[in-house]
Amino acid sequence: MEDQVTFMPRIGEKAPEFTAVTTQGTINFPKDYEGKWVIFFSHPADFTPVCTSEFMTFANMEKQFNEANCELVGLSVDGLYSHIAWLRTIKEKIEYKGMKDIEVTFPLIEDISMEVSKRYGMIQPGESSTQAVRAVFFIDPKGIIRTILYYPLSIGRNFQEIYRALIALQTADAFQVACPADWQPGDDVIVPTAGSCGVAKERMEDAETLDCKDWFFCTKKLDKQKVLDTVLKK
């Protein structure tokens, strides 16, 4: 019997569609989230410590993500009643890094059949054939996958980086720029590479608005408040 080949979705492609039962009711994905950014992420299993720390962190940051026009959607291959029991345990019993009484209100998808997780390449047989790895998909308001992050079962995600990447994607879209390594709102941004010799020459001579180290490497100031006013809801 030949192994079934599942192609992972790629950056720039439409997010695969599905309908699923969640802790917040049935969702049609990504149709229900048109006009919003979505962080769609998987976790290996309920009632596991690393996953618990991640869900508490995501829930604690949910308002911050929502203010950036972003919704959170989680998934694991456990069943709905397991999800509900686990989330109740988190709220009633677990304290982590000063966080306690944390209520998870974003949807957590039931995926016992692994249909959705396989469609998104969340099942990595070399890691586990029965648990999803820690995948993160950034999906834009048009339903396009813009960034993909994968972590193994043993390592929790960096949630500040997830938030930073979301704001950087929105900034790049809004201002038609690129964001350099370790970029944070208020840092200089990169101007797209010149497409002609004439433009390259003009940029090198434009010392007032651009800082060009060479024709291909030009940065400019972008005020932090302008970034925040653009990407965060008021």
pLDDT at 104: 96
Q: Which of 113, 114, 148, 116 is nearest to 134 (CA)?
A: 148
Residues 72-87 pLDDT 10s: 999 998 999 999 999 9
Choosing among 3.90.650.10, 3.90.1150.10, 3.30.1020.10, 3.50.50.60, the CATH entry for 176-231 is 3.30.1020.10
Q: Superfamily assignment of 18-158 in CATH?
A: Glutaredoxin (3.40.30.10)
User: What Å distances lie between residue 189 and 86, 148, 175, 198, CA to CA?
Assistant: 42, 22, 10, 22
Four-residue CA torsion sign, 25, 89, 130, 136: positive
Active site residue 51: yes
**Is there a contact between 139 and 15 (Cβ–Cβ < 8 Å)?**
yes
Predicted TM-score (pTM) of this structure:
0.91
Between residues 29 and 192, which one has the greater pLDDT?
A: 29
Q: Where do the H-state alpha helices sit in the chain?
A: 49-67, 80-93, 115-119, 159-175, 197-205, 224-231
For helices 49-67 and 159-175, angle between their N-to-C axes, nearest 10 degrees: 30
- Domains of the chain, by residue range, sit at 18-158, 176-231
Predicted local confidence at residue 84, as pLDDT? 97
| 134 annotated binding-site participant | yes
pLDDT band at 218 (very low <50, low <70, confident <90, very high): confident
Give tens-digit pLDDT for 7-37. Answer: 689 999 999 999 999 999 999 999 999 999 9
Which string of b and e fits 83-118 if b means at least 16 CB within 10 Å?
A: beebbeebeeebebeeeeebebebbbbbbeeeebbb
